[in-house]
Amino acid sequence: VWYEDLPELKDGQFATNSQQVQQMFVNFYGYLKKLADNQINEVLNALEAKGLIDDTLIVRTSDHGEMCLAHDRQREKPFNAYEEVLRVPLIISNPNLFPNAVSTDSFATTLDIVPTLAKFAGVYDLFQFAFQGCDLTPLFTNPHQEVRDAIHFTFDDGTLPPRFFKTIPRRIRTIRTKEWKYSVYFNDEGTNYEYEMYDLVNDPLEKTNVAGKPEYLEKFRQLHAQLITQMVKLKTVPGRFSIYTEEMKQQKFIPPLYWPTEDEAEYEAIMDYAANQAQSSYRHRDHKEVIKAQAKDVDPDMWWLGI
């Protein structure tokens, strides 16, 4: 079933209110996955034909998930932080390194791919302080091990028409732990804040938003503090805008004391500038040739250090 076969509404959207149409959409998504698999098989067959499959490390992942009509028939991925969007495949394959398939429930993000590949290449120690992600190789020998206790998700959409910027919160910051998920939605002016908080143990389908309920206030504060920590660490603090505005005063559930302020954003910018200055000074030292010798045939120019 092709996408064009779905009934089209006046605004160009596709009707998904009947069981038949919903099944057509799911079938279409399954067909797209089949097409992607066929393309991957073309690459695998070419590697095998050239005798390169044993010497190739294959990493398979995706940029985002697919709502696929979940949560009141939503499609694609924009403007939410549900599990359907956050979860993507991550497959690392090599017939010699991994003769038997192993899976894990441990947290991992796309930020972890480069550190993991650096570990495979034997250059992780040279650049470990440049990585924002984690090395996943410990999971290959112990899939029950934990390499991180939470995931930080961000969404910054730039495709909305300007007339929607002040009414639709197009930025999202999320912290996802094993048991909880907490998200803050906001726009560029620091207004139109919305909050989502889900108990993933008792509500794995994310049906009941408990943000703002008095009995969850302490957990809310803990998750908000944890979210801020990740935002500062991974440099996802929003740009300079007044965090507490007149519009925000009119909203019922705004904890401005727990959100990064303009001063904190400015402090982060100062720290980044100082780090860049120190890095620039380091480039002119004799360490350049030393690192090149240690990395052997790995070109340091491909790394963030820029040596």
Whether the pLDDT of residue 229 is over 70: the answer is yes
Q: How confident is the model at residue 230 (pLDDT cuts 50, 70, 90)?
A: confident
Structure confidence by residue, pLDDT tens digits, 3-21: 455 555 444 455 556 777 7
Whether the pLDDT of residue 132 is over 50: the answer is yes
Whether the pLDDT of residue 285 is over 60: the answer is no
C-alpha dist (Å) from residue 288 to 41, 43, 258: 41, 37, 43
Domain 149-260 adopts which CATH fold? Arylsulfatase, C-terminal domain (3.30.1120)
pLDDT greater at residue 270 or residue 294: 270
Question: Token pair for residue 34?
Answer: 């089949």
The whole-angstrom distance between residue 25's C-alpha and the CA centroid of its chain comes to: 25
Containing H/E element for 182?
strand 180-186
Mean pLDDT throughout 92-101?
90
The whole-angstrom distance between residue 68's C-alpha and the CA centroid of its chain comes to: 19
Q: How confident is the model at residue 307 (pLDDT cuts 50, 70, 90)?
A: very low
- Measuring CA to CA, which residue among 99, 66, 102 is closest to residue 82? 66
Q: Supply the mean pLDDT for the chain.
A: 76
Share of the chain above pLDDT 70, in %: 67
Domain boundaries, the chain: 149-260, 267-307
Mean pLDDT throughout 25-52?
91
How many CB atoms are located within 10 Å of the residue 4 CB?
8
Q: How confident is the model at residue 192 (pLDDT cuts 50, 70, 90)?
A: low
The answer to whether 109 and 133 are in contact (CB under 8 A) is yes
Mean pLDDT throughout 23-33?
84
Structure confidence by residue, pLDDT tens digits, 146-190: 999 999 999 887 666 666 666 677 788 999 999 999 998 887 665
Whether the pLDDT of residue 290 is over 50: the answer is no
Give φ, ψ of 60 to 5 degrees: -120, 125
Number of H helices, E strands in the chain: 10, 6
